[in-house]
Amino acid sequence: MSSTVIPFGPQHPVLPEPLHIKLVMEDEKIVEAIPAIGYVHRGLEKLTETKEFTQNTFVVERVCGICSVMHAMAYCQGIEELMNIEIPDRAKFLRVIWAELHRMHSHLLWLGLLADAFGFESLFMQAWRNREKVMDIMEETCGSRVVISANIIGGTRRDLTKEQMVKINQVVDEIKEDLEQLEAVFLNNYTVKHRLVGRGVLTKADAIEYCTVGPMARASGLKTDLRTTGYSAYGQLDFEPVIHNDGDNYARTYVRLHEIYQSVDLVKQAIAKIPEGEHVVPVKGNPPKGDVISRVEQPRGEVLYFMRGNGTKTLDRLRLRTPTFANIPSLLKMLPGSELADVGMIILTIDPCISCTER
């Protein structure tokens, strides 16, 4: 049987960002998938070597706007470790609040894109209407809707008033109530399940072998979540990773949707337990020197930062591995054996962030 090579992307109606994959086809079946990485390379890692280490917080936030606060959290945690800075407990809780709000807005954005891929325009609008509520909170508390620049070395740039925390509690409760009504469509609608159930299967064994991270790994039955290591204030909050064992498109949808509920609970817990006190400490001492690895659980999975300081105001090296980059091998494992009509949906369910991957 002769094979045909079909390019998928970098522009495609279902893709929020330019991912390019060459699909080797036999009739309607995919037999091989070949990625082409580097379409939007921006050179941000090199840029960090030319800026002072205090300025790099703004650079890493722009690796990806949707998970910007967690990029800054990972970077700040690493520099704080190198400089032996202990941030206030209040700052740890504030970082968790903003991180979980970002996780909510990322997952709600993805649910909207999923609905749009089905052609369910009203469902798309409903998901993004709730996302707008989260972004309004971030604008009110930090002055910006996406890249909020809340984290700085030594703590957080801003604090939350009691009035703001009361309002956050009210808004996340509203989002939870709205999402409970949308859940029936995302998880029980016949058309949606027909496109999701049994498609793009990644087994637990394959998830382990291909080092899958984040909701993709948890949807394949892996109980892996960096938040359980207790970084920042997560060690003082009660939660369990959201797990599904089927490893298909439906399982990944289930995990992300229920992680929004989990984020609502974590925000409310953090607000209830946040201590009084300062939210930032002065950055004193010599500039960072030595090597450090800092890891954070982003909406798409684990982000890993390696930093090497030389005792001057600039770093010798900053290297980061983003979750989408880690999950692309798993995607290439899932595509062979699938039909061409399912490719867009399978790619979408890994929640690809190409600006992160190609930074």
Residue ranges of the binding site for Mg(2+): 45, 320
CB distance 273 to 99 below 8 Å: no
Expressed in angstroms, the distance from the first to the final Cα of the chain is 40
Name the binding residues for Fe cation. Answer: 67, 356
Amino acid identity, position 221: G
CB distance 123 to 184 below 8 Å: no
Backbone φ and ψ for 157, nearest 5 degrees, come out as: -70, -30
Identify the burial level of 311 via C-beta atoms within 10 angstroms of its C-beta, where 0-12 means exposed, 13-18 middle and 19 or more buried: exposed
User: At a CB cut-off of 8 Å and minimum separation 6, what does 85 contact?
Assistant: 79, 153, 154, 281, 283, 285
The runs of H, that is alpha helices, within the chain are 44-48, 56-61, 68-82, 89-118, 121-142, 162-188, 190-196, 204-209, 214-219, 249-273, 323-334, 343-348, 354-358
How far apart are alpha carbons 316 and 309 in whole angstroms?
6
Name the binding residues for Ni(2+). Answer: 64, 67, 353
Name the binding residues. Answer: 45, 64, 67, 320, 353, 356
Q: Strands 151-152, 155-156: parallel, antiparallel or unpaired by DSSP?
A: antiparallel
CB distance 97 to 168 below 8 Å: yes
How far apart are alpha carbons 127 and 139 in whole angstroms?
19
CB distance 77 to 270 below 8 Å: no
